[in-house]
Structure 1
Amino acid sequence: MARIFIDGEAGTTGLGIRQRIELLPASYGLEILSIDPALRKDTAARRSMLEQADIAILCLPDDAARETVTLAEGLEVRILDASTAHRIADGWVYGFPEMDAEQAAVIRDARFVANPGCYPTGAIALMRPLVRAGLLPADHPVSINAVSGYSGAGRAAIEEHEKNGGPAFFLYGLDLKHKHLPEIRHYSGLTRQPLFVPSVGHFPQGMIVSVPLHLKDLPGQPSAAEFEAVLQAAYDGCVHVRVLPAETRLEADALANTDDMELRVHHNGEQAVLTARLDNLGKGASGAAIQNMLLMLGR
């Protein structure tokens, strides 16, 4: 029996993780440890949960996640952090199993794993193989556009959309300092800060991350077919990440309630748009956490 403590289980990601664990077969042997809601900020109560748990999954604001990690010092509990706090921190393993051929094995053996962000999951999946193959220069001026369902925008935004209709669409992060930028740049292998413009649409779940490129501006003027071949090789055999043929229309919520991600190279010969479609709460959050948790447990 493996004991799982979800610190912050009342939030969107925490609820999604709990629901997914409850749907797993009993043969997985998982037990969820729950703290009394009245004691969720009580240090002694949280320490007690950490002492009992095999894995603690942190679904907390960054500062609170750091506090929990400090609280776990001296204990044997392993940590899976869904916040932004440790994604590029020393001593932490990045929880994107498909990122490299050996990444799943590294996650399996790690004590500290940082669950990826939703936007970075798509952006890194698209760009990292191309940068490593030399088709996309690390210092290229990259632009990333993305749209997410409102469920990723926090409780206030969810209530606004579900009770009052909410805005049809809005851009945000227009100070160009979005908290996912360091993570995207670090794991994509970019040496130049990308221009990242996220947005939220009036739909609950789903996401598209897109990277437009002028192929003739790239060294050697690579073709879209070369891009697709590199992506196919990078994710060959992956269960949750697939490279599919280009389409002329993509709906952002098509993968809602799944833990999958689809990558495509759309092009006209001279220009290309790379797209990653996923569920912001699935492969972009709770689904990824379950994938990492099961790897850490050797399931």
Structure 2
Amino acid sequence: MKENLTNFRQRPLPITYVTTSESEKRIQWFINFKYPILDALTKQQEGGAENKKLDFIDLKTAVEFFKRILVDSPSRNSVNGVRAYFASPSSDGTVSPGKCGKLTLIFVAAIGEKNSDIGSYYGFKDGNFVVIPEDEARAAVHNFQKIKRNNLFSTLSDDDIRDDCKETKHLLFSIDQIEETIAEMEYQSQNHGDIVKGFGIRFSSYTDQDYRFENSKVVQYHKRLTIGFSFIDWQNEDIGIKQIDPVEFKERLTVTISKERFIGDTFDTGVPAPPPPTNDNMAALDYEI
């Protein structure tokens, strides 16, 4: 990490920070508008309810995974980010209209100007992301892009529908976003382990409203599938940085504002994000633009 954890209270909030109220709005928008479509497909084709979240076994497991994905690469010194594909693996591993499994994510390190996939693909199994074969990853991504992604078209903004711009395929995290997320998890584990038990990923959606946190630039993406990170307390409920230690949060918020630091636009470097995707920015597992 870039700084000693003892100096953490003087650090700004992580660049992956989104307010609790905005996070709740995004999760609720997903549940109200995208989840019913996804849930109906999953129940019809594979049985069982759709996923709303992916929880790690515990905080230590989450830290170890995000560290591992940065170093387990043939070009570890050149990794500049991490890609998260939306995927829906079928129970039998096939890709067909009648086989569309539960919503999940597949992570891979990214390298170079085009953020090309490099190294192993990681799929979520039993509370952790583990290495999976590339053909398994590809089938799961294609199931989402060929089936579920198309069915979500009606949930997009009027502008996206008019421009025939499809639903999100994958998200791209910068190396700074990943490293600051790791640092935040390590700090909360070390200093607030009596409150924080775990870490999870929440499926969500941008709402129909712009979002702005303090002095950051306005986020203008609307109604697009995305994700959010959340800490989990010992009652197995989501808890935000502000709720973990309100006094400490206020101190860090002051530092954040004083540094005029851009935060709050967490995962908006993904595809599609304006401008619409083209053949030039297709990722390795993509079925189409």
Q: Which has the larger radius of gyration?
A: 1
Q: Is TM > 0.5 for Structure 1 vs Structure 2?
A: no
Greater RCO structure (CA 8 Å; 6+ sep): 2
**TM-score normalised by the shorter chain: which range applies?**
under 0.3
The TM-score with structure 2 as length reference comes to 0.26
The TM-score with structure 1 as length reference comes to 0.26
